[in-house]
């Protein structure tokens, strides 16, 4: 390192997708429509759950928080992405970059925890149905959600402080859609081993830990379902879990591709497409998954629309 000159970076220049000027307007309109649809779909899901008595259950209580987090999660990323496309690249200060990274990590961590909690909720409902009401009390579900928010904040805060105590030098260009960890680590100068270990250790408490909880929960669920004698009973029981499994597969599948692999190379166009999927598409699809694949939500939605059309309260 001695004898080498470095220009230390105090701001970053986001340039994702700007190498294709002809894509600028179509992508801007596409992402804007996705964002508005995400806000509408998730806000609609929250309102529907709050107003319909049949949906006043622990599962939908967790789902309403998942919808709220998805609104916040996408709002951290998409407006910045729209600015990059509109301005053909945009400059972001290191403090603002750190704030975006913290908020992204905070809400993404809560998303992981909520999906794990929902898996546990399905385990109790299927494997211990007689004890479900006594286990999933109002106090218990508030405690679980509060724990998810506290754990998400702790993970986001420690990872952000650790990441932004590093020194960034050389090029300040980030060819990515937001201030995420893999592209930021490419700009680090000097030894970052200790910081990267801390970041990885705290990441283990989020994604891998949640995947273990989800996997174990569904292992017990599958065993319980296989013990049901009638094929109709098995199908009906498993159908209550398919929406959650679909959401889990979409969210964790893309995160695993991005973070649990070698990131030695510069972010490729494929990486940016995958990042768009877990930051833009997944929050949009969640309300659709839980409404189109869930009989109770569809019935509640139809009842709400029918009452609006007929003018009944």
In tens digits, the chain (313 residues) has pLDDT values of 444 445 677 788 888 777 777 888 888 999 999 999 999 999 998 998 888 888 888 988 999 999 999 999 999 999 988 988 888 888 888 899 999 999 999 999 999 999 999 999 999 988 898 999 999 999 999 999 999 999 999 989 988 988 888 888 777 888 888 888 778 877 888 777 777 777 777 667 788 889 899 999 999 988 888 887 777 667 766 776 777 888 888 888 877 776 655 554 545 566 677 788 888 888 888 888 877 666 777 677 677 666 655 555 5
For residues 102 and 141, give the distance between their C-alpha atoms in angstroms, rounded to a whole number: 25
Q: Per DSSP, what are the bridge partners of residue 257? A: none
**Could you give the 3-state DSSP secondary structure of residue 2?**
coil
Query: Would you say how long the chain is, in residues?
Result: 313
The whole-number pLDDT of residue 311 equals 56
Q: Per DSSP, what are the bridge partners of residue 91? A: 13
Contact 49, 291 (CB under 8 A): no
pTM: 0.86
For residues 178 and 81, give the distance between their C-alpha atoms in angstroms, rounded to a whole number: 7
For residues 97 and 178, give the distance between their C-alpha atoms in angstroms, rounded to a whole number: 8
Residues 6+ apart with CB under 8 A from 227: none
The whole-number pLDDT of residue 238 equals 72
Neighbour tally for 137: CB within 10 Å: 11
Residue pointed to by tokens 């599962």? 59
The whole-number pLDDT of residue 114 equals 94
Whole-Å CA distances, 32 to 17, 21, 147, 235: 15, 17, 33, 38
């Amino acid at each position: 390192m001695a004898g080498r000159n470095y220009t230390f970076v105090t701001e970053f220049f986001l340039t994702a997708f700007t190498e294709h000027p002809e894509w600028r307007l179509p992508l801007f309109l596409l992402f804007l429509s996705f964002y508005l649809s995400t806000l509408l779909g998730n806000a609609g899901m929250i309102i529907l759950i709050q107003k319909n008595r049949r949906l006043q259950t622990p599962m939908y209580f967790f789902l309403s928080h998942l919808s709220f987090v998805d609104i916040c999660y996408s709002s951290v990323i998409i407006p910045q992405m729209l600015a990059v496309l509109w301005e053909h690249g945009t400059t972001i200060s290191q403090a603002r970059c750190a704030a975006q990274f913290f908020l992204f990590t905070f809400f993404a961590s809560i998303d992981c925890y909520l999906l794990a909690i929902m898996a546990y909720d399905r385990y109790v409902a299927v494997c211990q149905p007689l004890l479900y009401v006594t286990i999933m009390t109002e106090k218990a579900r508030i405690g679980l959600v509060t724990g998810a928010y506290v754990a998400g904040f702790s993970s986001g805060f420690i990872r952000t402080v650790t990441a932004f105590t590093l020194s960034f030098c050389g090029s300040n260009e980030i060819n990515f859609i937001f201030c995420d960890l893999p592209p930021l680590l490419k700009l680090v100068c000097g030894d970052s081993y200790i910081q990267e270990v801390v970041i990885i250790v705290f990441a283990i408490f989020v994604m891998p830990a949640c995947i273990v909880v989800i996997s174990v929960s569904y292992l017990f669920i599958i065993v319980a379902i296989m013990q049901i004698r009638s094929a109709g009973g098995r199908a009906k029981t498993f159908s209550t879990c398919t929406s959650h499994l679909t959401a889990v597969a979409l969210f964790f599948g893309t995160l695993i591709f991005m973070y649990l692999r070698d990131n030695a190379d510069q972010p490729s166009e494929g990486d940016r497409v995958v990042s768009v999927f877990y930051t833009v598409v997944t929050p949009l699809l969640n309300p659709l998954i839980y409404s189109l694949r869930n009989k109770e939500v569809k019935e509640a939605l139809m009842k709400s629309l029918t009452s609006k059309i007929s003018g009944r309260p």
